[in-house]
A and B are shown apart, each in its own frame.
Chain A
Amino acid sequence: MSMTEPVETMAEPWDEFDAPPSVVRTLPGAAPIVPKDSIAGRSLAVVVAIMTFLASLTTGAAMLVVSAASDWQSDVGREVTIQVRPAPGRNIDADVRAACDIARAAPGIAEVRAFTKEESARLVEPWLGAGLALDDLPIPRLIVVKIAAGMRPDFASLRQALAARVPTSSLDDHRRWIDRMRTMAETAVIACVAVLALVWAVTVLSVTFATRGTMAANRPIVEVLHYVGATDSFISSQFQRHFLILGFKGGAIGGGVAILLFAVAEAANGWLAGTPGGDEIAGLFGNLSIGIAGYLAILLQIVFMALVTAFASRRTVNRTLEAID
């Protein structure tokens, strides 16, 4: 059948055949096959934005905790303590000096600092009160030994050398504390990973169900496309593209806000540095920076969220088509 020929030869079934000649020039632009700004579509974008924001916050927080736990461990592990106890017939000041010399001579030691009598008094002040005369009490003296970055001193040799020259001394490498710290850090990391996994599961499920809900509103479009001869791949690709963009927009909004929040937190941490509150926060969470890896992780989440949305829409379209066929 030719549509050109019939118009000329066929009787016109309609009387009001008088379209203005300008009509061809004033045709509206081609509308997308899947409507862009539906209420269901906007709702889906909001759901994706909120869930991406929450997932990004969880990811960033988990990275901060993991980083802080690692910092706590390394901070404790970078320091050892020599304790010199007073003993009858021995000069404790001479013993402290000797122990300091031995420690300084050991390889891998960055800094050795003996606590003065006053500093030692301040350490026991909470229990024994102020104005204490240390000479009257057998208070041990502490020497803080800082280990050079990346070095691992031979503590066994150091311990032997100390025992030989200063028998009243003992070396505490904080092993007990490090072990406890490691257990705590590992627990924190496991908890973070578990929370992250849960948040991600909820995110994927809620986005998938929201996409299915939105797709239900588009079922008439799927049916019409099917009936006018569109192949299944054409229909699903139309929806997949639409929902990929929709998911990306929602994800970009949620992830973008999360990135902004972490950037502000990082900047605020810099502004507060040196203040008591700032130092407390820095002590607990480090510099509050999720780093390049953190920002990249959030960007990847945005892309992942868009892919989840597109995949869910494709699956729903395929199910709809199977139901129609």
Chain B
Amino acid sequence: MIRFENVGLRYGLGPEVLRDLNFGISGHSFQFLTGPSGAGKTSLLRLMLLSLRPTRGLISMFDHDTASLSKDGRANLRRRIGIVFQDFRLLDHMSTYENVALPLRVLGKEESDYRAEVVELLQWVGLGDRIGALPPVLSGGEKQRAAIARAVIARPQLLLADEPTGNVDPNLGQRLLRLFIELNKSGTAVIIATHDIALMDEYDARRLVLHEGRLHVYD
């Protein structure tokens, strides 16, 4: 699904924050991406989300060389990836339902076609009674679940989650992990960036460890 070969990344004229990355992500897989703060987890996720370009090396995604893709081509590939941010990034002027349905609107789908699907997903993540609520009135856990629902509504092949449990208590963190595990069981490859050791100990999965810009893979 994803292949990184000798990938390096630097911002401007600064030092390389990521170097010599060589790894692959296969379909239906589940892995944690970890490392100390500032190790480059978010940068690596942004490379996988095609929202950053590497300064060197080759990134192949879904059998496409990302360097040769046009802007629209990158946007099309991005539609096969779901992203969950630590700070949720829900749009405050839209209800929970509208936030979750946003990727489908972007795809040009009619509301009548996706309405039942969105409601069903919201019910599945436990937000069935918060459909019309605006993000400012949602709790942290509700916001995170809404963000996860938005990330998976378009049925992505890959789900990236950047510190999804960073803003919630351990109990809620475990429940969110269950949610990711269930999504993975349904066929979505999952990468969770976290430095929460306790969370990683909850589930036996592949670990990608970033240290001083280099990646160490523990299968």
In whole angstroms, what is the CA distance A234 to B71 when docked?
Answer: 12
| A15 contact set on B, CB distance < 8 A | 126
B58 is an interface residue with CB less than 8 A from chain A: no
| B89 contact set on A, CB distance < 8 A | 220, 223-224, 227
Contact pattern, A 28-48, Cβ under 8 Å of B = 1, otherwise 0: 101101010010000000000
B122 and A19 within 8 A (CB): yes
A23 is an interface residue with CB less than 8 A from chain B: yes
B150 is an interface residue with CB less than 8 A from chain A: yes
| B132 contact set on A, CB distance < 8 A | 26-28
A229 and B178 within 8 A (CB): no
Tell whether A4 pairs with B102 under 8 Å between CB atoms, given A13-B179, A28-B132, A227-B78: no
B166 is an interface residue with CB less than 8 A from chain A: no
Nearest neighbor of A26 in chain B, beta-carbon distance: B132
Q: How many residues of A contact B (CB 8 A)?
A: 44
B72 and A17 within 8 A (CB): no
Contact pattern, B 27-45, Cβ under 8 Å of A = 1, otherwise 0: 0000000000000000000
In whole angstroms, what is the CA distance A277 to B145 when docked?
Answer: 74
Most buried by B among A24, A225, A229: A229
Tell whether A220 pairs with B186 under 8 Å between CB atoms, given A19-B129, A230-B75: no
A1 and B128 within 8 A (CB): no
B75 and A2 within 8 A (CB): no
Nearest neighbor of A230 in chain B, beta-carbon distance: B106
Nearest neighbor of A324 in chain B, beta-carbon distance: B51
A19 and B123 within 8 A (CB): yes
A14 and B126 within 8 A (CB): yes
CB distance from B112 to the nearest CB of A (A): 11
Contact pattern, A 1-15, Cβ under 8 Å of B = 1, otherwise 0: 111111100111111
**How would you classify the secondary structure of chain B's contact residues: helix, strand, loop or mixed?**
helix
Tell whether A28 pairs with B98 under 8 Å between CB atoms, given A1-B188, A33-B105: yes
Tell whether A1 pairs with B51 under 8 Å between CB atoms, given A224-B89, A229-B154, A230-B75: no
Tell whether A7 pairs with B120 under 8 Å between CB atoms, given A228-B103, A231-B75, A232-B71: yes
Tell whether A1 pairs with B98 under 8 Å between CB atoms, given A224-B89, A232-B75, A234-B106: no
In whole angstroms, what is the CA distance A20 to B131 when docked?
Answer: 11
A3 and B117 within 8 A (CB): yes
Tell whether A28 pairs with B117 under 8 Å between CB atoms, given A1-B152, A18-B128, A19-B128: no
B17 is an interface residue with CB less than 8 A from chain A: no
| A188 contact set on B, CB distance < 8 A | none
For chain B residues 155-174, which have a beta carbon within 8 Å of chain A? Answer: 155-156
In whole angstroms, what is the CA distance A33 to B121 when docked?
Answer: 21
In whole angstroms, what is the CA distance A15 to B175 when docked?
Answer: 10
A325 is an interface residue with CB less than 8 A from chain B: yes
A3 and B93 within 8 A (CB): no
In whole angstroms, what is the CA distance A165 to B106 when docked?
Answer: 92
| B103 contact set on A, CB distance < 8 A | 228-229
Size category, B interface: 35 or more
B91 and A23 within 8 A (CB): no
A16 is an interface residue with CB less than 8 A from chain B: yes
Tell whether A224 pairs with B91 under 8 Å between CB atoms, given A13-B175, A26-B132, A229-B75: yes
Tell whether A1 pairs with B153 under 8 Å between CB atoms, given A15-B126, A31-B98: no
B53 is an interface residue with CB less than 8 A from chain A: yes
Most buried by B among A15, A221, A324: A221
A28 and B72 within 8 A (CB): no
Interface residues of B (CB under 8 A from A): 49, 51-53, 71-72, 74-76, 78-79, 81, 83, 89, 91, 93-95, 97-98, 101-103, 105-107, 111, 115-117, 119-126, 128-129, 131-132, 145, 150, 152-156, 175, 178-179, 182-183, 185-188
Between A and B, 19 residue pairs with Cβ closer than 8 Å are A1-B186, A3-B121, A5-B186, A6-B124, A13-B124, A14-B126, A14-B145, A17-B124, A18-B129, A19-B123, A23-B119, A24-B119, A31-B95, A33-B102, A220-B91, A225-B102, A229-B107, A231-B71, A234-B106
A230-B106, A324-B51, A325-B74 given. 13 additional CB < 8 A pairs?
A1-B156, A1-B183, A2-B155, A7-B124, A13-B124, A13-B178, A15-B126, A20-B129, A27-B132, A30-B105, A226-B75, A227-B49, A231-B72
